[in-house]
Amino acid sequence: MTKYHHGDLPAALRAATAELVAEKGPSGFSLREVARRAGVSHAAPAHHFGDAEGLLTSVAAEGFQRLADAMEADGDHIDDALQRLRTVGAGYVRVALENPGHFAVMIQSDLVCNDDPALMEHSLRAYAALQRGMELVRDQLNPDLDIDTAATFCWASIQGLVSLSPKLDDVASDTGTKATPVNVLVDEFANYMVHGMAAR
């Protein structure tokens, strides 16, 4: 169990929450256990975040901030549609796998306050980074491409790969094959998506 530095207690509580959720899933989360892991009083999480929803919302917002920062940094300088989709997809997977506790909360909208300003800001930034990639696909390959539909489909598909990635080794073991690394799958996914979205 990680011991956290309390120079920034809200950050320490978010880190303890992400660790707990990564280990036990959202159903294993409790403010009492977060406080215990962070080494603070049981009242500390409620003092800083109000309630469980407030703390989980802050964790989700932090996760989306990390995701948006990565997607912008990785993709916004790339002018080739296929290469941008590959790079942004790889960045999404990397951030998701490095932050499993955050992502477990981010994908369960019933656990958080969806109107929270920080959560809305960072989730919209991440989505906008993907939309800009779809605009490149439109400009380079298909002038009739529906940007929002394409971006939503890509987001759902990449998140599906992230959700499946822990199971790939199990499936490979059961079938006596070698699991395809998720980064290779993302690369192939980008090829399928860009060629599928190109004008006929």
Sign of CA dihedral 154, 160, 166, 169: negative
Q: Which residue has the higher pLDDT, 7 or 69?
A: 69
Residue 50 has pLDDT above 70, yes or no: yes
The residue ranking higher by pLDDT, 198 or 123, is 123
Q: What is the CATH number of the domain that holds 37?
A: 1.10.10.60
Q: Looking at the structure, tell me whether residues 62 and 39 fall in a common domain.
A: no
CA atoms within 13 A on the CB side of 155: 21
Residues 64 and 43 in one domain: no
pLDDT greater at residue 54 or residue 90: 54
Same domain, 112 and 42: no
Distance CA 138, CA 154 (A): 14
Query: Which pLDDT band, with edges at 50, 70 and 90, does 186 fall under?
Result: confident
pLDDT in tens, 125-161: 999 999 999 999 999 999 999 999 999 999 998 888 8
157, 112: one domain: yes
Tell which wins on pLDDT, 172 or 67: 67
- Integer Cα distance of 28 and 112 in angstroms: 16
Which of the four pLDDT bands, split at 50, 70 and 90, describes residue 100? very high
> Judging by beta carbons within 10 Å of its beta carbon (0-12, 13-18, 19+), is residue 183 exposed, middle or buried?
middle
Tell me: do 18 and 4 sit in the same domain: yes
At residue 171 the predicted structure's pLDDT band, cuts being 50, 70 and 90, is very low
Count structural domains, the chain: 2
pLDDT of residue 90: 87
State the Cα–Cα distance between residues 189 and 191, nearest whole angstrom. Answer: 5
Residues 72 and 148 in one domain: yes
Characterize 23-59 residue by residue with b for buried, 16 or more Cβ atoms within 10 angstroms of its Cβ, and e for exposed: eeeeeebebebbbebbebeeebbeebbeebebbbbbb
Give the pLDDT mean for 174-194: 72
Range of the domain at 44: 1-50
- Rounded distance between C-alpha atoms, residue 122 and residue 120, angstroms: 6
Model confidence at 22: pLDDT above 80: yes
**Residues 126, 67: one domain?**
yes
**Pairwise CA distance, residues 13 & 128, whole Å:** 29
Q: What percent of the chain has pLDDT over 90?
A: 65
DSSP string, 72-131: HHHHTT---HHHHHHHHHHHHHHHHHH-HHHHHHHT-GGGS-TT-HHHHHHHHHHHHHHH
Q: What is the mean pLDDT of residues 94-104?
A: 93
Please give the structure tokens belonging to residue 179.
Answer: 């699991």
